[in-house]
Structure 1
Amino acid sequence: MTDKPDPLAPIHAAYAAFAARDVGALLDAFDPGIEWVHPEGMHKYGLGGTKHGHAGVKEFLAHVPTVLGGMRLHPVEFVREGERVVVFGHRDITSLSGHTETQPFVHSWVLREGRAVRMEDIFDTVAFHRVIES
């Protein structure tokens, strides 16, 4: 009997890499053509819309520190249906001025052949704006 690989392994690896600020390990969990989707309501800060591929993710991640002082993700619940994994959690968001708030998120991931091909970040953009502007 052969042990099957954990279908959630790429998702867990992505959160661990994000926590460690290890962009290389993060990209290892992603298909080279990944779609990285954030709410359109974040365009004001250069954080909205869909980024494509590893280059798009790296560009997005490089821009985040220009509008935020920091962020820590706390994934809590993982729900898997076929190739989709939905993650419910919360994040600690710190503004450039040092103000921190905790806010909920939902991440919708699509996996193919052991790598993430799509990640959509779903959250309250009005509350997020409040932190950025604090």
Structure 2
Amino acid sequence: MARTTVRWLLAALYLTAGIFHVARPQPFLGITPHWVPWPVTVILLTGLAELAAVPALLQPWSRPLRRAAGIGLAVYAVCVYPANVNHMLIDLAKPDHGLGLAYHVPRLLAQPDVVWAALWAGEAIDWPFGRRRAQKA
């Protein structure tokens, strides 16, 4: 039940993000690090990847597909971390400090949890809830 709940929460998060990446890429362009090649294309493709992962993560009949979606979303969360850091640096450089540290620090600290949640919800890992094996004497 808990895994299904996390799966649906991630699906809602990535569905929303995917829609925004495709429909309104401008805010994402503003936080994309300068070293990312073809930022418009990258943002469009990331949105499409998010949208493709949602039904794969939610479908009930193929564990390998769910697992692939979970791994893909975990890798994606790692890959966008530089943009999240860049977003914080851009915001803090503003006279009003943008969204401020109270927004950015928890967001950055939560990124490993998002990676774990994607892997766990996609059934790529069971940690820390896996069954304990009986130890041999």
TM-score, normalised with respect to structure 2: 0.30
TM-score, normalised with respect to structure 1: 0.31
Larger of the two Rg values belongs to structure: 2
Greater strand fraction, Structure 1 or Structure 2: 1
Greater helix fraction, Structure 1 or Structure 2: 2
Which structure has more RCO (C-alpha within 8 Å, separation ≥ 6)?
A: 2
